[in-house]
Amino acid sequence: MSLPVVSGPDFDPDTIAEVIHRYTAGETMEQLAAQYSVSYRQVRNVLIFARVTIRPQKILLPPTPPGLVNAYLDGRTIQQLATTHGRSYNQTRRILLAEGVQLRRRGRR
């Protein structure tokens, strides 16, 4: 595979290969940009030009409210918990999943 040609001293073929290797090994674009003193966009462009699959961004979740998991396990619905804790249904669902909770099937009305 030939490496993309990108102008600038920070993007010689060896550096490009190293950026690709480090990204595929798990480092984030933000970490790589800081390491090489370039912008996030420059790192992203190098990866895209090299046809590297870009990982989806992680969705940052707020801290799990105390009692949320236990309330769900005790029978409360996701919608009830979302209303109680001032969150959306989807955010509450993602928090429960991140905590490793096995979700129940949705009930019928």
What pLDDT, in 10s, does the model give residues 21-76? Answer: 999 999 999 999 999 999 999 999 999 999 999 998 777 788 899 999 999 999 99
Q: Is 29 exposed, middle or buried (0-12, 13-18, 19+ CB in 10 A)?
A: buried
- Residue 69 belongs to what H/E stretch? helix 68-73
Cα 66 to its chain centre, rounded Å, is 24
Q: Which two tokens stand for residue 48?
A: 């895209």
Predicted model pTM = 0.51
